[in-house]
Amino acid sequence: MNELTPIEAYCAPQLARAQKRSRRQVAKSLPLDTIIEGDCIAAMARMPDKSVDMIFADPPYNLQLGGDLLRPEGSKVDACDDEWDRFESFAQYDDFTRDWLTEARRILKDDGSIWVIGSYHNIYRVGSLLQDMGYWLLNDIVWRKTNPMPNFRGTRFTNAHETMLWCSKSEKSKYTFNYRAMKALNDDLQMRSDWSLPICSGGERLKNDEGEKVHPTQKPEGLLYRVLLASTKPGDVVLDPFFGTGTTGAVAKRLRRRWIGIEREEEYIAAARERIEMTLPLDESNMVTMAEKRSAPRVAFGLLVESGLVPAGTVLMDAKRRWKAVVGLDGSVKCGEHQGSIHQVGKLVQGAPSCNGWTFWQVEEKGELKPLDIWRQRHLGGL
Protein backbone atom coordinates (compact mmCIF):
# COMPACT_ATOMS: atom_id res chain seq x y z
CA MET A 1 0.00 0.00 0.00
CA ASN A 2 1.25 3.46 -0.92
CA GLU A 3 1.68 6.30 1.53
CA LEU A 4 0.25 9.59 0.26
CA THR A 5 2.04 12.84 0.98
CA PRO A 6 -0.21 15.61 2.35
CA ILE A 7 -0.17 17.32 -1.00
CA GLU A 8 -1.10 14.16 -2.85
CA ALA A 9 -3.90 13.50 -0.38
CA TYR A 10 -5.18 17.02 -0.88
CA CYS A 11 -5.11 16.73 -4.65
CA ALA A 12 -6.35 13.18 -4.95
CA PRO A 13 -10.09 13.84 -5.22
CA GLN A 14 -9.60 16.50 -7.90
CA LEU A 15 -7.20 14.27 -9.74
CA ALA A 16 -9.67 11.43 -10.03
CA ARG A 17 -12.41 13.79 -11.25
CA ALA A 18 -10.11 15.43 -13.77
CA GLN A 19 -8.89 12.15 -15.11
CA LYS A 20 -12.40 10.82 -15.45
CA ARG A 21 -13.52 14.03 -17.15
CA SER A 22 -10.51 13.96 -19.40
CA ARG A 23 -11.09 10.37 -20.38
CA ARG A 24 -14.78 10.99 -20.99
CA GLN A 25 -14.22 14.07 -23.13
CA VAL A 26 -11.25 12.90 -25.02
CA ALA A 27 -11.44 9.19 -25.43
CA LYS A 28 -14.58 9.22 -27.50
CA SER A 29 -13.58 12.14 -29.67
CA LEU A 30 -9.81 11.91 -30.01
CA PRO A 31 -8.79 9.03 -32.24
CA LEU A 32 -5.39 8.43 -30.69
CA ASP A 33 -2.66 6.69 -32.65
CA THR A 34 -4.68 6.59 -35.85
CA ILE A 35 -4.79 8.25 -39.23
CA ILE A 36 -7.91 10.21 -40.17
CA GLU A 37 -8.56 10.11 -43.87
CA GLY A 38 -9.71 13.40 -45.32
CA ASP A 39 -9.23 17.15 -45.36
CA CYS A 40 -7.45 18.46 -42.29
CA ILE A 41 -9.71 21.46 -41.74
CA ALA A 42 -12.84 19.32 -41.70
CA ALA A 43 -11.18 16.67 -39.56
CA MET A 44 -9.90 19.16 -37.02
CA ALA A 45 -13.36 20.74 -36.89
CA ARG A 46 -14.65 17.50 -35.40
CA MET A 47 -12.10 17.50 -32.59
CA PRO A 48 -12.78 19.06 -29.16
CA ASP A 49 -11.35 22.38 -27.95
CA LYS A 50 -7.96 22.39 -26.25
CA SER A 51 -7.33 18.71 -26.64
CA VAL A 52 -3.84 18.28 -28.13
CA ASP A 53 -0.47 19.12 -26.60
CA MET A 54 1.51 19.79 -29.73
CA ILE A 55 0.94 20.21 -33.46
CA PHE A 56 3.56 19.55 -36.10
CA ALA A 57 2.53 20.72 -39.55
CA ASP A 58 4.23 20.33 -42.90
CA PRO A 59 1.70 22.09 -45.13
CA PRO A 60 1.90 22.34 -48.93
CA TYR A 61 4.74 24.71 -49.83
CA ASN A 62 2.72 25.97 -52.73
CA LEU A 63 3.08 28.29 -55.51
CA GLN A 64 4.71 29.39 -58.66
CA LEU A 65 7.39 26.77 -59.01
CA GLY A 66 5.19 24.03 -60.37
CA GLY A 67 3.87 22.78 -57.06
CA ASP A 68 0.10 22.59 -57.02
CA LEU A 69 -1.82 25.03 -54.91
CA LEU A 70 -4.92 23.32 -53.61
CA ARG A 71 -7.96 25.10 -52.34
CA PRO A 72 -9.31 24.05 -48.97
CA GLU A 73 -11.96 21.93 -50.63
CA GLY A 74 -9.33 20.17 -52.74
CA SER A 75 -9.68 21.61 -56.21
CA LYS A 76 -6.57 22.74 -58.01
CA VAL A 77 -5.76 26.37 -58.63
CA ASP A 78 -4.76 27.13 -62.18
CA ALA A 79 -1.25 28.49 -62.33
CA CYS A 80 -1.11 31.98 -63.77
CA ASP A 81 1.88 34.16 -64.47
CA ASP A 82 0.71 37.72 -64.47
CA GLU A 83 0.88 39.93 -61.47
CA TRP A 84 -2.80 40.01 -60.68
CA ASP A 85 -3.10 36.29 -60.60
CA ARG A 86 0.01 35.96 -58.55
CA PHE A 87 -1.58 38.20 -55.97
CA GLU A 88 -4.65 36.01 -56.18
CA SER A 89 -2.52 32.98 -55.46
CA PHE A 90 -0.95 34.50 -52.39
CA ALA A 91 -4.37 35.56 -51.15
CA GLN A 92 -5.72 32.08 -51.62
CA TYR A 93 -2.75 30.49 -49.97
CA ASP A 94 -3.24 32.89 -47.08
CA ASP A 95 -6.93 31.96 -46.81
CA PHE A 96 -6.08 28.29 -46.75
CA THR A 97 -3.36 28.88 -44.15
CA ARG A 98 -5.59 31.03 -41.96
CA ASP A 99 -8.31 28.39 -42.09
CA TRP A 100 -6.23 25.48 -40.94
CA LEU A 101 -4.34 27.55 -38.37
CA THR A 102 -7.67 28.65 -36.91
CA GLU A 103 -8.83 25.10 -36.30
CA ALA A 104 -5.37 24.18 -35.05
CA ARG A 105 -5.52 27.00 -32.54
CA ARG A 106 -8.89 25.94 -31.25
CA ILE A 107 -7.91 22.35 -30.56
CA LEU A 108 -4.46 23.20 -29.15
CA LYS A 109 -4.21 23.26 -25.35
CA ASP A 110 -3.47 26.69 -23.88
CA ASP A 111 0.00 25.56 -22.86
CA GLY A 112 0.58 23.64 -26.08
CA SER A 113 2.82 24.63 -28.94
CA ILE A 114 2.85 24.36 -32.72
CA TRP A 115 5.60 23.77 -35.27
CA VAL A 116 5.22 24.64 -38.96
CA ILE A 117 7.89 23.81 -41.51
CA GLY A 118 8.26 25.54 -44.85
CA SER A 119 10.57 27.08 -47.43
CA TYR A 120 10.91 30.65 -48.62
CA HIS A 121 7.94 30.14 -50.93
CA ASN A 122 5.44 29.94 -48.09
CA ILE A 123 7.08 30.43 -44.69
CA TYR A 124 6.79 34.23 -44.70
CA ARG A 125 3.06 33.95 -45.32
CA VAL A 126 2.75 31.40 -42.51
CA GLY A 127 4.89 33.34 -40.04
CA SER A 128 3.04 36.58 -40.59
CA LEU A 129 -0.34 34.88 -40.16
CA LEU A 130 0.79 33.04 -37.02
CA GLN A 131 1.68 36.37 -35.47
CA ASP A 132 -1.54 38.01 -36.63
CA MET A 133 -3.56 35.21 -35.03
CA GLY A 134 -1.98 35.62 -31.60
CA TYR A 135 0.43 32.72 -31.70
CA TRP A 136 3.69 33.68 -29.98
CA LEU A 137 6.84 32.96 -31.93
CA LEU A 138 9.38 31.21 -29.69
CA ASN A 139 12.09 30.41 -32.24
CA ASP A 140 12.56 30.10 -35.91
CA ILE A 141 14.64 27.00 -36.46
CA VAL A 142 16.78 26.55 -39.54
CA TRP A 143 17.12 23.02 -40.80
CA ARG A 144 20.50 23.20 -42.49
CA LYS A 145 20.64 20.36 -45.02
CA THR A 146 24.02 18.64 -45.09
CA ASN A 147 23.29 17.28 -48.57
CA PRO A 148 20.98 19.67 -50.43
CA MET A 149 20.21 19.51 -54.11
CA PRO A 150 22.57 21.85 -55.99
CA ASN A 151 21.30 24.76 -58.03
CA PHE A 152 21.92 23.24 -61.44
CA ARG A 153 21.65 26.41 -63.48
CA GLY A 154 23.88 28.56 -61.28
CA THR A 155 21.28 31.31 -61.05
CA ARG A 156 21.00 31.65 -57.28
CA PHE A 157 22.53 30.43 -54.06
CA THR A 158 22.03 26.72 -53.42
CA ASN A 159 18.79 26.50 -51.50
CA ALA A 160 20.25 24.51 -48.64
CA HIS A 161 17.82 24.96 -45.75
CA GLU A 162 14.20 24.94 -44.66
CA THR A 163 12.67 26.88 -41.81
CA MET A 164 10.53 25.70 -38.89
CA LEU A 165 8.49 28.13 -36.81
CA TRP A 166 7.89 27.14 -33.21
CA CYS A 167 5.09 29.01 -31.46
CA SER A 168 3.24 28.82 -28.19
CA LYS A 169 -0.49 29.50 -28.27
CA SER A 170 -0.02 32.89 -26.65
CA GLU A 171 2.61 35.07 -25.06
CA LYS A 172 1.76 33.87 -21.56
CA SER A 173 1.68 30.14 -22.29
CA LYS A 174 3.74 27.79 -20.16
CA TYR A 175 4.98 25.77 -23.07
CA THR A 176 7.08 22.63 -22.71
CA PHE A 177 10.77 23.00 -23.47
CA ASN A 178 13.05 20.20 -22.33
CA TYR A 179 16.09 22.40 -22.02
CA ARG A 180 18.34 19.87 -20.30
CA ALA A 181 17.54 17.13 -22.79
CA MET A 182 18.34 19.45 -25.71
CA LYS A 183 21.57 20.50 -24.06
CA ALA A 184 22.54 16.87 -23.48
CA LEU A 185 21.78 16.08 -27.11
CA ASN A 186 24.26 18.76 -28.15
CA ASP A 187 27.30 17.66 -26.11
CA ASP A 188 26.44 19.83 -23.11
CA LEU A 189 26.09 23.05 -25.07
CA GLN A 190 22.81 24.88 -25.46
CA MET A 191 20.98 23.72 -28.58
CA ARG A 192 21.05 26.48 -31.17
CA SER A 193 18.43 27.64 -33.64
CA ASP A 194 20.23 26.03 -36.59
CA TRP A 195 20.22 22.27 -36.93
CA SER A 196 22.44 20.41 -39.41
CA LEU A 197 20.78 17.21 -40.58
CA PRO A 198 20.86 15.20 -43.82
CA ILE A 199 17.78 15.03 -46.02
CA CYS A 200 15.72 11.85 -45.96
CA SER A 201 17.33 9.27 -48.19
CA GLY A 202 18.71 5.74 -48.21
CA GLY A 203 16.84 3.08 -46.29
CA GLU A 204 14.73 5.63 -44.48
CA ARG A 205 13.15 6.93 -47.67
CA LEU A 206 9.92 5.08 -48.47
CA LYS A 207 9.74 3.64 -52.01
CA ASN A 208 6.89 1.92 -53.82
CA ASP A 209 7.09 -1.34 -55.78
CA GLU A 210 8.46 0.52 -58.79
CA GLY A 211 11.25 1.95 -56.69
CA GLU A 212 9.81 5.47 -56.87
CA LYS A 213 9.67 7.60 -53.76
CA VAL A 214 6.19 7.43 -52.24
CA HIS A 215 6.14 11.06 -51.06
CA PRO A 216 7.96 13.97 -52.71
CA THR A 217 8.97 15.70 -49.46
CA GLN A 218 9.36 13.01 -46.80
CA LYS A 219 11.03 14.56 -43.75
CA PRO A 220 13.94 12.85 -41.97
CA GLU A 221 13.12 11.17 -38.68
CA GLY A 222 16.04 12.96 -37.05
CA LEU A 223 14.22 16.25 -37.47
CA LEU A 224 11.07 15.00 -35.77
CA TYR A 225 13.10 13.30 -33.07
CA ARG A 226 14.49 16.64 -32.03
CA VAL A 227 11.17 18.44 -32.33
CA LEU A 228 9.32 15.88 -30.22
CA LEU A 229 12.07 15.48 -27.64
CA ALA A 230 12.29 19.26 -27.23
CA SER A 231 8.65 20.23 -26.94
CA THR A 232 6.62 17.26 -25.67
CA LYS A 233 6.54 14.88 -22.73
CA PRO A 234 5.98 11.12 -22.90
CA GLY A 235 2.26 10.46 -23.28
CA ASP A 236 1.53 13.87 -24.82
CA VAL A 237 -0.85 13.98 -27.78
CA VAL A 238 0.80 15.15 -31.01
CA LEU A 239 -1.29 16.08 -34.06
CA ASP A 240 0.03 16.20 -37.61
CA PRO A 241 -2.60 17.65 -39.95
CA PHE A 242 -0.49 17.00 -43.09
CA PHE A 243 0.59 13.51 -42.17
CA GLY A 244 1.98 12.35 -45.51
CA THR A 245 3.86 9.10 -45.01
CA GLY A 246 3.77 9.43 -41.23
CA THR A 247 7.22 10.51 -40.08
CA THR A 248 5.61 12.30 -37.13
CA GLY A 249 3.66 9.18 -36.18
CA ALA A 250 6.65 6.87 -36.46
CA VAL A 251 8.86 9.03 -34.26
CA ALA A 252 6.03 9.73 -31.81
CA LYS A 253 5.45 6.00 -31.42
CA ARG A 254 9.16 5.38 -30.95
CA LEU A 255 9.33 8.10 -28.27
CA ARG A 256 6.11 6.94 -26.58
CA ARG A 257 4.06 9.99 -27.44
CA ARG A 258 0.45 9.60 -28.63
CA TRP A 259 -0.20 10.75 -32.17
CA ILE A 260 -3.02 11.65 -34.57
CA GLY A 261 -2.46 12.03 -38.29
CA ILE A 262 -4.72 13.58 -40.90
CA GLU A 263 -4.08 12.83 -44.57
CA ARG A 264 -6.08 12.89 -47.80
CA GLU A 265 -4.07 10.68 -50.12
CA GLU A 266 -4.79 6.98 -49.81
CA GLU A 267 -1.37 6.01 -51.06
CA TYR A 268 0.36 8.01 -48.32
CA ILE A 269 -1.97 6.63 -45.69
CA ALA A 270 -1.27 3.05 -46.67
CA ALA A 271 2.48 3.65 -46.58
CA ALA A 272 2.26 5.43 -43.24
CA ARG A 273 0.18 2.67 -41.64
CA GLU A 274 2.61 0.00 -42.66
CA ARG A 275 5.58 2.07 -41.57
CA ILE A 276 4.21 2.90 -38.13
CA GLU A 277 3.04 -0.68 -37.64
CA MET A 278 6.65 -1.79 -38.03
CA THR A 279 8.02 0.88 -35.68
CA LEU A 280 8.76 -0.29 -32.16
CA PRO A 281 8.44 1.96 -29.14
CA LEU A 282 11.62 2.40 -27.17
CA ASP A 283 11.86 0.21 -24.12
CA GLU A 284 10.65 2.22 -21.15
CA SER A 285 13.93 1.67 -19.37
CA ASN A 286 15.68 3.47 -22.23
CA MET A 287 13.47 6.55 -22.10
CA VAL A 288 15.96 8.33 -19.82
CA THR A 289 16.66 12.01 -20.43
CA MET A 290 18.29 14.69 -18.33
CA ALA A 291 15.70 15.75 -15.75
CA GLU A 292 14.67 19.38 -15.55
CA LYS A 293 15.61 20.85 -12.22
CA ARG A 294 12.50 22.97 -12.36
CA SER A 295 10.25 19.97 -11.95
CA ALA A 296 12.04 18.61 -8.86
CA PRO A 297 10.11 19.33 -5.65
CA ARG A 298 11.26 22.39 -3.76
CA VAL A 299 13.21 21.80 -0.61
CA ALA A 300 13.31 24.40 2.12
CA PHE A 301 16.77 24.73 3.60
CA GLY A 302 15.18 24.47 7.06
CA LEU A 303 14.21 20.91 6.26
CA LEU A 304 17.89 19.93 6.04
CA VAL A 305 18.60 21.59 9.38
CA GLU A 306 15.59 19.94 10.98
CA SER A 307 16.62 16.50 9.73
CA GLY A 308 20.18 16.94 10.94
CA LEU A 309 21.66 16.68 7.43
CA VAL A 310 23.08 20.20 7.87
CA PRO A 311 22.94 20.75 11.63
CA ALA A 312 22.64 24.14 13.28
CA GLY A 313 26.08 25.62 13.82
CA THR A 314 27.45 24.41 10.47
CA VAL A 315 29.77 26.98 8.90
CA LEU A 316 28.99 28.00 5.32
CA MET A 317 31.50 29.69 3.01
CA ASP A 318 31.45 30.99 -0.52
CA ALA A 319 33.72 29.19 -3.00
CA LYS A 320 36.56 31.67 -2.46
CA ARG A 321 36.21 31.75 1.32
CA ARG A 322 35.57 35.47 1.31
CA TRP A 323 32.55 35.17 3.59
CA LYS A 324 31.57 32.80 6.38
CA ALA A 325 28.05 32.29 7.67
CA VAL A 326 26.65 30.16 10.48
CA VAL A 327 23.50 28.08 10.26
CA GLY A 328 20.82 28.81 12.85
CA LEU A 329 18.31 26.45 14.44
CA ASP A 330 15.52 27.62 12.13
CA GLY A 331 17.50 27.39 8.89
CA SER A 332 18.33 31.07 8.85
CA VAL A 333 21.99 31.93 8.46
CA LYS A 334 24.03 34.75 9.94
CA CYS A 335 27.02 36.48 8.39
CA GLY A 336 28.24 39.52 10.28
CA GLU A 337 25.29 41.84 10.60
CA HIS A 338 23.28 40.08 7.88
CA GLN A 339 20.74 37.44 8.84
CA GLY A 340 18.08 35.69 6.77
CA SER A 341 17.64 32.86 4.31
CA ILE A 342 20.63 31.37 2.49
CA HIS A 343 19.52 33.32 -0.60
CA GLN A 344 18.97 36.63 1.18
CA VAL A 345 22.30 36.60 2.97
CA GLY A 346 24.16 35.47 -0.15
CA LYS A 347 22.59 38.37 -2.00
CA LEU A 348 23.37 40.91 0.72
CA VAL A 349 27.03 40.02 1.26
CA GLN A 350 27.73 40.16 -2.48
CA GLY A 351 25.60 43.22 -3.06
CA ALA A 352 24.13 41.26 -5.98
CA PRO A 353 20.61 41.65 -7.39
CA SER A 354 19.85 38.02 -6.53
CA CYS A 355 21.58 34.88 -5.36
CA ASN A 356 20.93 31.17 -5.39
CA GLY A 357 22.06 30.16 -1.93
CA TRP A 358 22.13 26.47 -2.88
CA THR A 359 25.03 26.99 -5.24
CA PHE A 360 26.61 30.06 -3.62
CA TRP A 361 27.21 28.63 -0.15
CA GLN A 362 29.64 25.77 0.36
CA VAL A 363 30.38 23.37 3.19
CA GLU A 364 33.79 21.93 3.89
CA GLU A 365 33.88 18.14 3.73
CA LYS A 366 37.18 16.23 3.87
CA GLY A 367 39.06 19.45 3.21
CA GLU A 368 37.03 20.21 0.09
CA LEU A 369 34.35 22.82 -0.42
CA LYS A 370 31.11 21.44 -1.82
CA PRO A 371 27.98 23.44 -2.66
CA LEU A 372 24.96 23.14 -0.38
CA ASP A 373 23.09 21.79 -3.40
CA ILE A 374 24.83 18.43 -2.81
CA TRP A 375 23.05 18.09 0.50
CA ARG A 376 19.78 18.95 -1.17
CA GLN A 377 20.42 16.12 -3.66
CA ARG A 378 21.18 13.73 -0.80
CA HIS A 379 17.98 14.79 0.88
CA LEU A 380 15.96 14.19 -2.31
CA GLY A 381 17.70 10.86 -2.85
CA GLY A 382 16.90 9.76 0.69
CA LEU A 383 13.19 10.46 0.31
Partner DNA sequence: GACGAAAGTGAATCTTCGC
Partner DNA sequence: AGCGAAGATTCACTTTCGT
Our CB check for its own copies shows the closer of 216 and 351 to be: 351
Nearest distance, CB of residue 84 and its own copies, angstroms: 10
Binding mask 278-307 for its own copies (x = CB under 8 A): ----xx-xxxxxx------xx-xxxx-xxx
- Contacts to DNA from residues 218-247, by CB under 7 A: 218
In angstroms, the Cα distances linking 365 to 153, 188, 217, 322, 341 are 69, 28, 59, 18, 22
Looking at 12, 18, 189, 282, which residue binds DNA (CB under 7 A)? 189
Region 51-70 residues binding DNA, contact defined as CB under 7 A: 58-61, 63-70
Name residues contacting its own copies, limited to 171-200 (CB under 8 A).
Answer: 171, 177-194, 196, 198
Tell me if 176 contacts DNA by CB under 7 A.
no
CA distance 117 to 56: 8
* Of residues 30 and 227, the one with the C-beta less far from DNA: 227
Rounded-to-integer distance, Cα 331 and Cα 149, Å? 64
Sheet holding 333-335, edge to edge: 338-340, 333-335, 324-327, 315-317, 362-365, 368-371
CA-nearest of 88, 55, 54, 51 to 71 is: 88
Please report how close the Cβ of residue 30 comes to DNA at its closest, in angstroms: 25
Rg of the chain in Å (alpha carbons): 26
Q: Which of residues 65-124 bind its own copies (CB under 8 A)?
A: 70, 74, 81, 83, 86-87, 90, 120-121, 123-124
Strands 161-168 and 108-118: antiparallel
- Cβ closest to its own copies, residue 31 vs residue 331: 331
φ, ψ of residue 67 to 5 degrees: the values are -65, 145
Residues 244-273 that bind its own copies (CB under 8 A): 255
DSSP state of 220: P
Q: How far is the CB of 334 from its own copies (least distance, A)?
A: 6
**Half-sphere exposure at residue 177, Cβ-oriented, CA atoms within 13 angstroms:** 14
Written as one letter, the residue type at 231 is S
Residue from 31, 94, 109, 198 in contact with DNA (CB under 7 A): 198
The residues, ordered by sequence, that sit 6+ positions from 36 with a Cβ below 8 Å of its Cβ are: 43, 260, 261, 262, 263
Partner whose footprint covers residue 200, from DNA, its own copies, none (CB < 5 to 8 Å by kind) = DNA
- Using CB under 7 A as the binding rule, the residues of this chain from 66 to 95 that contact DNA are 66-73, 75, 77-80, 85
Of 140, 270, 273, 275, the one binding its own copies (CB under 8 A) is 140
| Least separation in angstroms between CB 301 and DNA | 6
Considering beta carbons, is residue 19 or 151 the nearer one to its own copies? 151
Q: What is the DSSP string of 4-68?
A: PPHHHHHHHHHHHHHHHHHHHHHHTT--TTEEEES-HHHHHHTSPTT-EEEEEE-----STTTPP
From the list DNA, its own copies, none, partner contacted by residue 54 (C-beta under 5 to 8 A by kind): none
Contact present, 175 and 138 (Cβ < 8 Å)? yes
- Residue 91: which H helix or E strand, with range? helix 83-107
Work out which of 2, 14, 147, 285 binds DNA, going by CB under 7 A: 147
Selected from 95, 132, 292, 364, the binder of DNA by CB under 7 A is 292
Q: If contact means CB under 5 to 8 A according to the sort of partner, which of its own copies, DNA, none does residue 29 touch?
A: none
Residue among 211, 216, 235, 353 that touches its own copies (CB under 8 A): 353
- Applying CB under 8 A, among 213, 279, 328, 363 the residue interacting with its own copies is 328
